[in-house]
Structure 1
Amino acid sequence: MEKRRLGITSGLAAYTLWGLLGVFWELLSVVPALDTLAYRIVFSLLTICIVLTVQRDWKTIWWTTKQLIKNRKIFWIILSSYLISINWFIYIYMVTHHEATEASLGYYIMPLMNVVIALMFLHEKLSRSKAIALLLVIVGVVILTIQTGSLPLNTLLMAASFCLYGLIKKQVQLPATISLTLETIFVAPVAIVYLLISPHVMTQDGLGVTTLLIFSGIITVIPLLLFAVATKNTDFITLGFIQYLNPTIQLLMAIFVMNESFSWHKAVVFVFIWLGILVFILGNMHGLQRVKRTK
């Protein structure tokens, strides 16, 4: 019971922090999105290096890397590092360009897009509830496309990049600390080279912005470590419910803190998305109860 309580508390903390991060990135809107991403990667690596040094886990990193090379799985870790970087970049770009509501929409769509990924790559069967949920989401995206005159590519790309990232993580399972270390190591050289050639200087926008850029590493690592504790101490179904806390907080922050407009067509889109999520959750609950009855 204590472990489950720890897991739920850690999960709530992780998803709450992720939900609040939109405000953090909006404070960095004066910095180009690519530069913010590069600083985030570099300072995340520095932060995780400190964590590993305190935990004395460098031998584990070395041993894990050798095993990944031996098993020819290192390529998947490299690919996952660039997928999560793409996800980070799109999210930062959207928030700093006053598209936080569209970003939250992406995180609502994400769990249902996981169903599509599972169908395409894992050959899982599509249940009736999942089919209805997907149909509702598709209707919502079509309405948004018609009303705005363009397909919400950033929203869909953000969701798709994280779904593919999750697929790789499922195939190559590593502890969160080890995984984050390797992923940041593989993208850090690109980030450092970019910062060296970028015309933007970290200190040019004042002490406040410089401090936020430095802390971008810490606010990236802490939720991931909390999430690692949550996954070890609670079940996947519970985390599945908790994960909707993230986009809900993002949406509320966008409307009430960032003062983004929430037009009627966005409201209609979110109604369809929420209906899809409700059908998805009820379907999962029904499936879980049926499994329990057969035991």
Structure 2
Amino acid sequence: MALLAVVSAAGLALDDRVLVGAPIWAKPLKFSLSFVAYCLSLAWMLSLLPPRFRRAGWWAGTVVAAASATEMVLITTQVVRGRRSHFNHETPFDSGLYDAMAVTVVVLWTASLVLAVLLFRGTLADRATAWAVRLGAVLALAGAGLGFLMTRPAPGQRRGASPTVGAHSVGVPDGGPGMPLTGWSTTGGDLRIPHFVGMHALQLLPLLLLALLALAPRFAPLRDERVRLRLVLVASAAYAAVLALLTWGALRGEPLIRPGGATLTGAVLITALTGAAAWVALRRPGPTPPAPPAPSLVSAPAQRPRDVRPVA
């Protein structure tokens, strides 16, 4: 994926073709960078599994990597051909490639679900770390699952008859005015927004925990594992609420940069409740414990027992 990101960046610089209102190499660049973050996060999480689950985790991770690579080969093939990869049923060949991509997505999602189940069954380093990893995996699954909403026929489309079935945008055609870099619609709803936000909970919640651990030596309440666990749970609930709010807005055809009154009210309510819950979570339940060790991204190796000899 890292190599494909370099190739796609070169394509953006050298190939001036535009497809559905965006540079033709923008999609493989964004997908490859997203998969780099996604697969590195899963690889780290696999290192946290107890030994009895690592074999199953290895197989699930291998399936994720293979499915990701297969999807990117199909997307890049269509870029080289100058054809749309997603929602394309113009010719039997285009339709076959899109159907194959759909299969790889289902396989990838299922393998990620297996990893999430293993993370729930395993005993991780501490409760705060365990729940940051577990809830990040669950929210990522929810975000990935939201991608299936894009495959529904848009108004005026009909399965088996229309050359294009499905859309990123809601309320406006794909390819209209979009935000810089992301290309998200600025005139209507865009289901790519909750899809992106949900999938990257896999990185953001564990990063939040690492930030709490890094701040613990300076802020005494964060030294308590119970406080860190409560903050992780509060952040996860807030993340889920934001994901639901973004999905609701996108389905109503509402642009992200021009939210309506109901969406703004929901955002204010989520912010207020999250702030209040975080304040309650920071109240120390007992004596200040010692500062935790510096955060580490790898599991600690087992220590060798020292020889014990009787003293004469």
Tell whether the structures are fold-level matches, with TM greater than 0.5: no
TM-score (structure 2 length as normaliser): 0.29
- Kindly indicate which of the two structures has a greater share of residues assigned to helix: 1
TM-score by length of 1: 0.30
CA radius of gyration, larger in: 2
RCO higher in 1 or 2 (8 Å CA, sep ≥ 6)?
1
